[in-house]
Amino acid sequence: MVTMINSNIILLGMPGTGKGTQAKFLKEKHAIPHISTGELFREAASKKTKVGLKVKGFMEEGKLIPNGIVNEVILERLARDDCKKGFILDGYPRTIQQAKFLDKLLAKNGRPTAVLFITVEKQEVVKRLTGRRICENCGKDYNLYYLPPREPGICDVCGEMLIQREDDKIETINKRIEVYWNQTNMLVEYYKKRKYFFQINGKGTVNEINKQLVKLLQEQVSM
């Protein structure tokens, strides 16, 4: 069942906390777009534009992409018609500067913004990320520990080989987590005193966590 929610949602948390998975559920339930900066950046990198080549270099090294480039990409995406009734941001903002830029942008539409902070221990995050695999042909996601393919290394859907993305290798993951704690974690302090800030324990099944998020958003609507 699709329910409409005239709101913006920001998902915060370390890489591998399940933000992308939960965003897809919320997208279907509330009929608003899921905007993943990771996907936007990978799309830009694949097109090999001037900005895309810069983005690719930062991603492969596990470094944060400069605020100016990120804000430019987000500004263009939020201007599209499908964002008029709200949207879900996954992977943005990642710095205080980006958050302030977003605040100014969202002040114009008057919709409430819910910030959902999903927490998971570092050891579990590393396990989740290093286990991720994707079919380069059809795009289906797998995890060696939680959602393995029927035949090792082969996609269940199209039979093509599965790959591990460069940013899911252990060296890059450790850099991503270090970057998160040094910079992105400050966003929790920035947002946590706001009316619609919620912290969720990301340990549990996908459905259990989803129920928590849906309940919090329903409570937000009634506030």
Domain segments of the chain: what residues?
7-120+174-210
Percent of the chain with pLDDT over 70: 95
Does the annotation count 194 as an active-site position? no
Q: Which of 56, 94, 128, 133 is catalytic?
A: 94
Which tokens belong to 203?
Answer: 């340990």
93 cis-preceded (ω within 30 degrees of 0): yes
CA distance 180 to 171: 15
Q: Which of 54, 122, 165, 203 is catalytic?
A: 165
DSSP state of 110: -
CA 85 to chain centre: 19
Q: Which of 27, 56, 133, 176 is catalytic?
A: 176
pLDDT, tens only, 180-202: 888 777 899 999 988 889 999 88
pLDDT in the model for residue 69: 87
What's the whole-number mean pLDDT along residues 49-60?
A: 80
pLDDT in the model for residue 2: 46
Q: Which of 56, 128, 132, 133 is catalytic?
A: 132
Other beta carbons less than 10 A from residue 218's beta carbon: 11
Does the annotation count 175 as an active-site position? no
pLDDT band, very low/low/confident/very high, at 212 (cuts 50, 70, 90): confident
The SS3 call for residue 119 is strand
pLDDT in the model for residue 38: 80
Residue with token string 């983005």: 55
Mean pLDDT over the full length of the chain: 87
> 85 versus 60: which is more confidently predicted?
85
CA-closest candidate to residue 99, choices 192, 223, 210: 192
pLDDT band, very low/low/confident/very high, at 52 (cuts 50, 70, 90): confident
CA distance 142 to 139: 10
Residues 197/191, Cβ–Cβ less than 8 Å = yes
Q: Which of 19, 56, 128, 133 is catalytic?
A: 19
Does the annotation count 133 as an active-site position? no
pTM for the full predicted model: 0.78
Does the annotation count 42 as an active-site position? no
**CATH superfamily assigned to domain 7-120+174-210:** P-loop containing nucleotide triphosphate hydrolases (3.40.50.300)
